[in-house]
Amino acid sequence: MKNLKLIALLFLLNGVVQAQTSDNPWLISAGINGIGLQSDFTGGDNALIKDNYKTMSLGVPSLSVYRSVFGGLSLGAQFSMNNIKSESGIADAKFSSVDFALKYGFSRDNKFSPYLKAGVGRSSIDRVDTNSFNAASSATDNYFAGAGVSVKLGDRFSAFVETSYRSSLDNPEGNLLQSTLGVSFGLGSGDADKDGISDKKDKCPDVPGLKEFEGCPDTDEDGIPDNLDGCPEEAGPEENNGCPDTDGDGVLDKDDACVDVVGLVELNGCPDTDADGIIDSEDECPEEAGDAENKGCPWPDTDSDGVADKDDACPEEAGTAEGNGCPDTPKDLLDKMNGIGSNIMFAAESSKLMGKKVLAAIGEIKRVLDENPNAKIIIEGHASSDGSTQYNEALSLRRAESVQAKLIELGADSSRIEVKSFGESMPIDGDDSRQSRTKNRRVEFKSMLLN
């Protein structure tokens, strides 16, 4: 080994470069070392007599690079230089070494971490000719074992002190004790959240967590880590993705509008006792089905005819749905009205009421209305096929309105009379002859209702 310094520098540079690009943690250290001979070094020109040298000689540098390979076990290399001081006037001995070592640390997550180390190396001890420093004549293989302790100074920095016992295998052959004091800097994944789990293995690297959850916290302590918990601050079972369902209705509390009461999924977890589609808390009649427009209560039906008062034209008299809650008009009264109405005829293309016979018929209709004060009539207007369909629709409406106006003029209540138009759509017996067309220019009383 012709140049130990160059080899050591290249090795350390390689370690630093890997540390900057690798995800694995690296530890780079620098410090001072102390050398103390434990026996005479015999053999060759560089033999040393222990008593001629100081008990401990300090020197710099002492450099090392270690990489964690498994658990507390690390693999690394170190380089040291020293000047073993003479006490008897003879020349000092130059010392240097390049070593490869295994190190095992205990309690690495604690502030104080003791460790053991052992390895093999190549050392140079030269006191004869400093110009031949690291020459083959001064190099010797050696092995060593030692112990030390590391003290954390921060996230990445630490201080350490260690001692190792070293034995060389060939000339010069002997034993020495090497102690090192220095600082270390960690490179690699680190532990940003300081939860004891390296960032490389930490699924939640920015939040302190638990080892059993790969570095993620479990805020609600339900056994589901926050990163997989749908409700990280509320304890819930795994089948609900970590969310609670207090009332057990299948609607999670976070979606349940009625958390403490068993309800329906379609109503966001709220109950509907009367099944009317209105939740109990908004239903003024929660045990009786009703209408949303009536705040969940059924509409009143005073006459119990099945037609609610709000839709019942005769709310206090039972009737039929077809009659808007009013009783049907007796058939004989309806026939009487239509018999009278058959005398109300119109000229072609006219809606005027003409002739004593027509006016008398309308007067008779008025008399029937007076005799039946609860009656309500619908006057239907009709036309022959003369003219267009649209024209006949308008004409038949004017005919019905003419009769309505005359009845009102005679004193009938307008609220009791309605009109409808059917145009030429409902001929009596066809529309081919002149006589048929004349009959179709008419009005009818097709519907009568009693209020």
Highest mean pLDDT pick, 138-147, 158-167, 206-215, 421-430:
158-167
Greater model confidence, 252 or 375 = 252
Rounded to 5°, the CA angle 151-153-154 comes to 130
pLDDT at 216: 94
pLDDT at 17: 35
pLDDT at 5: 42
Mean pLDDT over residues 245-261, rounded? Answer: 91
The fraction of the chain above a pLDDT of 90, given in percent, is 48
Is the distance from CB of 390 to CB of 345 less than 8 angstroms? no
Is pLDDT above 80 for 374?
A: no
Indicate the pTM of the whole model: 0.44
Confidence category of residue 110, pLDDT binned at 50, 70, 90: confident
Mean pLDDT over residues 179-197, rounded? Answer: 84
Rounded to 5°, the CA angle 44-50-52 comes to 95
Residues contacting 320, CB < 8 A, separation 6+: 305, 307, 326, 327, 328
pLDDT at 229: 92
Is pLDDT above 80 for 135?
A: no
| Distance, CA of 40 to CA of 49 (rounded, Å) | 5
**Tokens of residue 265, six digits:** 């999924």
- The CA-atom distances, in angstroms, between 259 and each of 268, 425, 440 are 10, 62, 70
pLDDT at 95: 92
Cα radius of gyration rounded to whole Å, the chain: 56
Give tens-digit pLDDT for 375-398: 788 899 999 988 899 999 999 999
Three-state secondary structure of 143-176: EEEEEEEEEECCCCEEEEEEEEEEEECCCCECEE
In the chain, % helix, strand, coil (3-state, to 5) comes to 25, 30, 45
| Distance, CA of 107 to CA of 109 (rounded, Å) | 5
Is pLDDT above 70 for 57?
A: yes
Confidence category of residue 130, pLDDT binned at 50, 70, 90: low
Mean pLDDT over residues 188-205, rounded? Answer: 79
Ordered domains of the chain (ranges, CATH) = 4-187 (2.40.160.20), 201-244 (no CATH), 247-298 (no CATH), 331-450 (3.30.1330.60)
Mean pLDDT over residues 45-49, rounded? Answer: 84
pLDDT at 191: 74
DSSP labels, 20-78: HH-SS-EEEEEEEEEEEESS-BBSSTT-B-GGGB-S-EEEEEEEEEEEEEETTEEEEEE
E-only strand ranges, 230-374:
none
| Distance, CA of 18 to CA of 346 (rounded, Å) | 112
Confidence category of residue 24, pLDDT binned at 50, 70, 90: very low
pLDDT at 336: 81
Is the distance from CB of 36 to CB of 116 less than 8 angstroms? no
